[in-house]
Amino acid sequence: MKPGLSLLHQLDSGGRTSFLSTPPARKFRYNPDYSTMLPSPPAQLLSYFVLTLALLAAPLLHATTLGRIDVTCTVCSAKSEQTVIGSTNAFGAPDLDLRPPEMQRSTMTFWVQECPSCGYCADDLSQPRPEAAAVVKSTAYQAQLKNPQFPPQANRFLCSMLVADKAGLREPAIRSAQYAAWTCDDANKPAEAKLARAAALERLRKLKSAGKSIYDQKGTDAVLLADLARRSGDFVAAVASAREGLALAPAAIVAAVLELEIRLAEQKDAQCHTLAELPDPAPAKAE
């Protein structure tokens, strides 16, 4: 059974996932941002209220919707059936690196597609990508795809990263490495998670030295860099990155995340933490 299908069945057996009779026209994409993840205190209160209601109503809700679509691989033209997310939800606080809470957290398996014919991995196999054919045929790609050290889903994300690398798509490459790390976290494979985070870190540092960033919000790339370093056990780099982020005078909420990263790194804590652990924000001052 395909890994994707086993998760699907798991979700189905919980009665919380439904299949769409009409498959979604557009693929769901995960585009996190701290500004949208960190609501103002009144909005937070409202979200707690909604969360309580949702938890009470959860057994009655079909919270994640999935659809099956036929996709034509841009590399080998083979057709395959893929599962795509129609809708999902996220209740609760994301991790410090913005990994979403449930139920979105459990939809990760559908964030990457694999062509069963040639092994091409991408968030959308049908999207034209001229660089892909040569990468997919390469020894490095095929070795990664079948690397028994990593969970198959992590291999798919890392293969997708290799294609993004070749296409010069730095942000998708960093994201793919990050998703591979999350997959390894879930599979309880810390050494492999560290390798995936090292791949993300290397690419994020290159992006930074090119004067570019993933996030528009000031200081948020530093949060990601600090979290990747801290989760890998490189506490010195985590503190250095968080301090660099603070020096940019970011928004109060981003500064609070950076300060939390410093505190955790100083305690040599490499565990996963969430935004729920942030101290309550100070009341806003009148200008």
Query: Can you give the binding site for Zn ion, defined by CB under 5 A?
Result: 73, 75-76, 78, 115, 117-118, 120
Kind and range of the H or E run holding 88: none
Task: Return the half-sphere exposure (C-beta side, CA atoms, 13 A cut-off) of residue 268.
Answer: 0
- Taking the least distance from each CB to Zn ion, the nearer of 104 and 113 is 113
CA distance linking residue 215 with residue 229, whole number of Å: 18
Do 203 and 169 form a contact (C-beta atoms < 8 A)? no
CA distance linking residue 123 with residue 127, whole number of Å: 9
- Taking the least distance from each CB to Zn ion, the nearer of 58 and 78 is 78
- Taking the least distance from each CB to Zn ion, the nearer of 75 and 154 is 75
Q: How far is the CB of 152 from Zn ion (least distance, A)?
A: 16
Return the sign of the alpha-carbon dihedral for residues 251, 257, 260, 261: negative
- Taking the least distance from each CB to Zn ion, the nearer of 118 and 201 is 118
- Taking the least distance from each CB to Zn ion, the nearer of 114 and 221 is 114
CA distance linking residue 133 with residue 179, whole number of Å: 23
Q: Which of 251, 253, 257 is nearest to 225 (CA)?
A: 257
Structure tokens at 276: 């729920």
Q: Which of 173, 170, 156 is nearest to 111 (CA)?
A: 156
- Taking the least distance from each CB to Zn ion, the nearer of 78 and 169 is 78
Q: How far is the CB of 124 from Zn ion (least distance, A)?
A: 13
Do 117 and 136 form a contact (C-beta atoms < 8 A)? no
Strands (DSSP E) contained in the chain are 17-19, 64-72, 79-87, 113-114, 121-122
Return the C-alpha torsion angle 245, 246, 251, 254, nearest 10. Answer: 60
- Taking the least distance from each CB to Zn ion, the nearer of 159 and 173 is 159
Residue 274: what are its φ and ψ, rounded to 5°? -120, 165
Q: How far is the CB of 196 from Zn ion (least distance, A)?
A: 24
Q: How far is the CB of 220 from Zn ion (least distance, A)?
A: 35
- Taking the least distance from each CB to Zn ion, the nearer of 118 and 159 is 118
Q: How far is the CB of 116 from Zn ion (least distance, A)?
A: 8
* Cis, peptide link before residue 37, omega less than 30° from 0: no
Q: How far is the CB of 146 from Zn ion (least distance, A)?
A: 16
Q: How far is the CB of 27 from Zn ion (least distance, A)?
A: 17
Q: How far is the CB of 99 from Zn ion (least distance, A)?
A: 29
Residue 79: what are its φ and ψ, rounded to 5°? -95, 140
